């Protein structure tokens, strides 16, 4: 049936603001924390509350659409991406940051149609950074159009290196090898603890690349659209086309940097999101 993208976009904005209100209110209060896949993979009542509110609203407005959410998946819901319109939500990206009061957290919401993100928002309600994109229409930070840096030279690049929340020994080896290898080759290394915000900072031109082994579809679905609409390149860590469910992502500001980094990174394949 017909998809009303204007209505979906208005809804996306409203949902982000609603999530922002809940997150802002909870940010400075005491949190009840539980662990998930490892003892550094965290969930709080706020993650669950935001997801419940957003999911309920979407079910009301778009009853035929599919839904994938971080906490619904953790609760046992099936995580399968089809060609159907699918809302993909991370209620609090950067839960570790949230727990510590480190203000780099965001709600991430994407609408994916035929496996392609068509709308995306990544909203940090603490620092008031709202990144958004609609397919073919560019991406914006608080209303200002975004453009990647275009940096091509690894030695001049400021790059994010991700650790992630998995503690599988083989994965940790991969992370350490990439740290050891890259720190002496780049201009600088940064790590913020929110995949969604780091992807958006590449879109903004504030950083030149981001890569991760172990991200989930809800961490990157919105960001992937935001950065491509800003002229960035998104693919798998080895340079293949991005597989949203494949849990590997490389985001850069230029094709040249994609080529260099995909050839430089030590690779690792986590379990997919859809198995």
Asked if residue 219 belongs to a known ligand binding site, the reply is: yes
Residue number with CB closer to ligand IPD (3 or 127):
127
Handedness of CA 184, 186, 188, 193 (dihedral sign): negative
State the helix-helix crossing angle for 217-229 and 195-203, rounded to 10 degrees: 10
Residue number with CB closer to ligand IPD (61 or 245):
245
State the minimum distance, in angstroms, from the CB of residue 6 to ligand IPD: 29
Residue number with CB closer to ligand IPD (162 or 236):
162
Residue number with CB closer to ligand IPD (166 or 232):
166
Residue number with CB closer to ligand IPD (2 or 29):
29
State the minimum distance, in angstroms, from the CB of residue 151 to ligand IPD: 22
State the minimum distance, in angstroms, from the CB of residue 196 to ligand IPD: 6
Asked if residue 14 belongs to a known ligand binding site, the reply is: no
State the minimum distance, in angstroms, from the CB of residue 16 to ligand IPD: 15
Write out the residues near ligand IPD by the rule CB under 6 A.
Answer: 70, 90, 92-95, 162, 164-165, 193-195, 214-216, 219
- The three-state DSSP-derived secondary structure of the chain is CCCCHHHHHHHHHHHHHHHHHHHHHHHCCCCCEEECCCCCCEEEHHHHHHHHHHHHHHHHHCCCCEEEEHHHHHCCCCCCCCCCCEEEEEEEECHHHHHHCCCCCEEEEEEEECCEEEEEEEEECCCCEEEEEECCCCEEECCEECCCCCCCCHHHCEEEECCCCCCCHHHHHHHHHHHHHHCCCCCEEECCCCHHHHHHHHHCCCCCEEEEECCCHHHHHHHHHHHHHCCCEEECCCCCECCCCCCEEEEECCHHHHHHHHHHCCCCCCCCCCC
- Residue bearing tokens 């993979």: 41
**Nearest residue to ligand IPD on Cβ basis:** 195
State the minimum distance, in angstroms, from the CB of residue 127 to ligand IPD: 16
Asked if residue 71 belongs to a known ligand binding site, the reply is: no
Are 72 and 49 in contact, with CB atoms under 8 Å apart? no
Residue number with CB closer to ligand IPD (92 or 154):
92
State the minimum distance, in angstroms, from the CB of residue 197 to ligand IPD: 8
Asked if residue 70 belongs to a known ligand binding site, the reply is: yes
- Tell me the binding residues for Mg(2+): 70, 90, 93, 219
- Tell me the binding residues: 70, 90, 93, 219
């Amino acid at each position: 049936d017909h998809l009303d993208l204007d209505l979906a976009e208005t809804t996306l904005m409203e949902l982000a603001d609603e999530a922002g209100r809940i997150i802002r209110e909870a940010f400075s209060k005491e949190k009840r924390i539980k662990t998930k896949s490892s003892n550094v993979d965290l969930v709080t009542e706020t993650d669950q509350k935001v997801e419940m509110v957003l999911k309920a609203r979407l079910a009301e407005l778009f009853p035929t659409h599919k839904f994938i959410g971080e906490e619904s998946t953790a609760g046992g819901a099936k995580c399968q991406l089809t060609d159907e319109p699918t809302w993909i939500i991370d209620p609090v990206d950067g839960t570790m940051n949230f727990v510590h009061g480190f203000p780099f957290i965001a709600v991430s919401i994407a609408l994916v149609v035929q496996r392609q993100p068509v709308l995306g928002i990544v909203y940090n309600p603490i620092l008031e950074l709202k990144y958004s994109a609609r397919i073919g229409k560019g991406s914006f930070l608080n209303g200002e159009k975004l453009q990647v840096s275009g940096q091509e030279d690894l030695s001049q690049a400021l790059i994010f290196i991700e650790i992630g929340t998995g503690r599988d020994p083989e994965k940790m080896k991969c992370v350490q090898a990439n740290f050891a290898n890259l720190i002496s080759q780049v201009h600088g290394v940064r790590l913020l603890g929110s995949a969604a915000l780091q992807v958006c900072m590449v879109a903004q031109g504030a950083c030149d690349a981001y890569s991760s082994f172990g991200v989930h579809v809800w961490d990157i679905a919105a960001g992937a659209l935001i950065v491509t609409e800003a002229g960035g390149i998104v693919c798998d860590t080895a340079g293949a086309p991005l597989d949203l469910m494949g849990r590997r992502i490389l985001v850069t500001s230029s094709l040249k940097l994609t080529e260099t980094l995909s050839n430089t990174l030590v690779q690792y394949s986590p379990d997919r999101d859809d198995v």
